[in-house]
Amino acid sequence: MNIQQIFKGRFSKSFVLAVADAVMLISSFVMACALSGYPLARLFDTWLLLLPVAVAFQLLIFLRFGLYKAILRYASVDSIVIILKAVTASTFAVVLGLYVIQKQLPINVLLLYWLITICFIGGSRFVVRYYFDLRQRFQTGRRALIYGAGDMGSLALRQLYLNKALLYSPVGFIDDDKKKVGSVIRGVKVLGSLEDIENIVQRYKVEEVVVAIAEVESDKLRDVVKRCKTQGIVCRIIPCFSRLLEIEPDIRNVELEDLMRRTPRDLDKEAIGKYLYQKTILITGAAGSIGSEMVRQCLSYHPKVVIALDQSEYGLYALEEELTNANVRYVLCDVTNYSNLETIFAKYMPDIVFHAAAYKHVPLLEKNPVEGIRNNVTSTKNLCELSDKYKAKSFVMISTDKAVRPSSIMGATKRISELFVQNFDRRSETEYVSVRFGNVLGSSGSVVPKFINQIRKGGPVTVTHPEATRYFMLIDEAVQLVLQAGSIGKGGEIFILDMGKPVKIVDMAEDLIYLMGRQPYKDIDIQFSGMRAGEKIHEELFNDEIEEPTMFKEITIGRSQIVDWELLDKNVRELLSCTREESCQKLMSMIESLVPDGNFSHNMKTLRRDENVNIA
């Protein structure tokens, strides 16, 4: 190692700091002697040779305590504690050494030496910290306002100062707790509350608001985003404490998921654990958005094995690459193929079946009604019968709000499946339930990826109708509630998840444009394309069912609709046989007889124009 390498990088900084500490130790000793009246002549006579040895010994103790490994710009309360321990230990070691060689110093000299050394060693570290803080405080950059003057706010302030990609100049905090107004956090003042944000933005020329509140409610976040949007400024967020272990704790853009996320749900995880622990679980549609999330969440409850079943080869491959879990079996199978499906049941003997496989795209199934019916109804019938035959404990089917007074083939197939599951339960020891909910944000085929793609291309964003609304829920929240519903199901229920208030699609499009850094109708236009085949302006979660509460406020039970089983089974079989015939007129007649409250006028018009539409 040459001289240039020795005095390079951290080693050179530690060496300089050690030399500075040596100078401060000698100065502390001289000052302690002078202040206590110790004779200076005796000082130079007695301690001229001993003092360098004592200082070198103290530096070794400082090194042992890690004083030369710390990064001074991050000096904190922990640093004070370490310095206090190091100085005390080194001073005690010097006193002990003097006792051994029978050299003595007055107690007042030693006490003053100890105190002055703490001030010098500690003060030098915090002078460096203060220098960096001062330099950050006066840096010029984007003028940012932090919403939340708590622990998260302090963390956000540090992130703003340390952001290398974009320099920030924090102007202050706002907080809902008006008692904090006027207080100061690391030199930055709390300027007001959320109600004052417009005045503060204008007064301090704020360019960006950073939301820094642990577990911020989506309603509150929507309010902040709306206020920022009206002021024409950017809104960002720092992830909540509960997610800091999962993702990089850095400030990021607010996303649509943040606006839609609910407050943490009071789930009975113990009940879910008992339901899933050491069970063999079969999940159909496991490569899809809901199915794959169901696989992930089931694994956290330590099942015996999870059978991830899907007909998508690439989807299963991608899931296997992601999970790399030994407790998952990846099975390629078409759920409409009874014999192949029975082979899987006979091999694994599943305790619990989650049926998430289905064709879901409404306009596409309007153009392909036969395949929609064949896939969605046949798969449900096959799985119900095999779950009973191989004595599964529980069967849970994923349904949709489109099954309520359906106007589409997709909705009709799900309503028929609900009826089949509910009435099949009365004939089996297996507990059959359905779980009905609306759209899940970000799922395959969801409107959000479509909007994002349109915005990236420069628009326009196309919305079907200015008044169109939909129920939305995040995928992870929906799956949590599905697992909870399965754990409390006794058989025959249709569990209906609380989706909150319906969201106007045009409002969602406007929010998404703003969150992606553009201005709605200015940078990106929104156009109305008209309702597509089978779509409704407003979806519903309940038909004429009477809500029956459960122990969870997010889950209610729709009234059972018991029908004559022989007639239902005969009609379903006849419906499926119609998919193999050439007449779609008969197919629609069967659907209307099975779902009398549906509105299929569009389908009938289409089929009259072309009786042989998309017959496989």
Rounded distance, CA 153 to CA 145, Å? 10
CB 586 within 8 A of CB 578: yes
Rounded distance, CA 416 to CA 189, Å? 61
Annotation says 178 is catalytic? no
Which residue has 């950017």 as its token pair? 234
CB 355 within 8 A of CB 349: no
CB 276 within 8 A of CB 294: no
Q: Write the DSSP string, 34-85.
A: HHHT--HHHHHHHHTTHHHHHHHHHHHHHHHTTTTTS-GGG--HHHHHHHHH
**Residue 94: closest CA among 65, 122, 57:** 57
Kind and range of the H or E run holding 191: strand 188-192
Kind and range of the H or E run holding 276: helix 269-276
Tell me the Cα Rg of the chain: 35
Strands 252-253 and 234-237: antiparallel
Of 180, 360, 402, 414, catalytic: 402
Structure tokens at 85: 């321990």
* Max Cα distance, the chain (Å): 118
Which residue has 């949007």 as its token pair? 229
**Residue 504: closest CA among 456, 447, 574:** 447
Question: What stretches of 147-191 show up as alpha helix (H) in DSSP?
Answer: 151-162
Q: What is residue 284's DSSP assignment?
A: E
**Residue 124: closest CA among 17, 52, 22, 27:** 17
Structure tokens at 277: 């622990």
Question: What stretches of 65-212 show up as alpha helix (H) in DSSP?
Answer: 77-100, 107-137, 151-162, 197-203
Residues acting as catalytic residues: 402
